[in-house]
Copies of this chain bind each other. A is one copy, B any other.
Amino acid sequence: MITVQAASDARSACAGWRAGGDTLAFVPTMGALHEGHLSLVRIAHDRCDRVAVSIFVNPRQFGPQEDYLRYPRPLEKDSALLSDAGVDLLFAPPPGEIFPEGFATTISVAGPSQGLCGPFRPGHFDGVSTVCCVLFGIIGPHVSVFGMKDAQQLAVIRRMVRDLGIRMEVVGAPIVREADGLARSSRNRYLNSAERIEATAIHAGLLEAGSLAASGCSDADRLVGAVRTAVSAKPLLRLQYAELVDPDAMTPMPVLDRRGLLATAVFAGTTRLIDNALLEPGRGCVEV
């Protein structure tokens, strides 16, 4: 595995592979890697000859009250995981390499960024789409792989790639969960043991909504209510939102009359967790 910090080095390594006829898959991350990230790397390997991973804790996608400074940065451990996973290139730039002095460009993707997390994290998706566009420009991948846990992020990136005509396939990967159902997240390490136990109620609520959908319930309020009920039963959890939306446009669906995304954000103590499930009428939870 080659590890580089300079954008120019990442660019020339990737350009070399492309020029040699290799296909290239890219997995952008903020590090603090877990099994979810490693599943993206496996999908990347399945799709392309070469795999590039970036680790960049992107300051532009954190709000002023958020956890940018304390976000975990275990670079040595991450690097070992990626090397073991057969990654070809690790691009781990310092902030000034991506956003140098004088950087002035912001990419906003209005539609899919506006609901769900949007109002609670002003500027977050602008930060995500801007950094991804910069990273795509450096790496020039044929395929980029994003986890479905951040379903809204995936929808925003898909929209941007389509709108700007970036020649790249965007692949969404299934959520990887702990044995008890909690979605893997770098932020799970913030949870104390009591929060960690209660946090399983999020997935339990999504499963309950899935059962309702499987048994014919199509009313969004009732499906969302299953998540509300599961979360509100736990004193350490606080629901920020739960909503049934179109999986691409991220617009509200009052009725589950086609595939819908049931997405939720929940505070466990001070830690904000997100999770979601794809629901199909009469079938319940399905995978991407």
Contacts and interface: CB of A to CB of B under 8 A. Distances in A.
A150 to B, nearest CB: 18
A1 interface: no
Interface stretch (A30-38, A101-109, A214-222): A101-109
Contacts of A159: 102, 104-105
A163 B137 CA distance: 10
Contact of A103 (B107, B134, B163): B163
A28 interface: no
A166 interface: yes
A137 B249 CA distance: 23
Nearest to A129: B105
A11 B166 CA distance: 12
Contact of A108 (B105, B138, B166): B105
A284 to B, nearest CB: 28
A120 to B, nearest CB: 19
Interface string A109-144: 111110000000000000001000110011000000
A194 interface: no
Contacts of A104: 109-113, 159, 163
Contacts of A108: 105-108
A80 interface: no
A241 to B, nearest CB: 21
Instruction: Give this chain's copy count.
Output: 2
Contact of A137 (B11, B112, B164): B164
Contacts of A110: 104-106
A165 B7 contact: yes
A54 to B, nearest CB: 13
Contacts of A57: none
Contact of A165 (B107, B111, B134, B160): B134
Contact of A164 (B11, B102, B133, B165): B133
A5 B193 CA distance: 61
Nearest to A165: B137
A141 to B, nearest CB: 13
Contacts of A137: 164-167
A138 B163 CA distance: 11
A105 B7 contact: no
A28 to B, nearest CB: 14
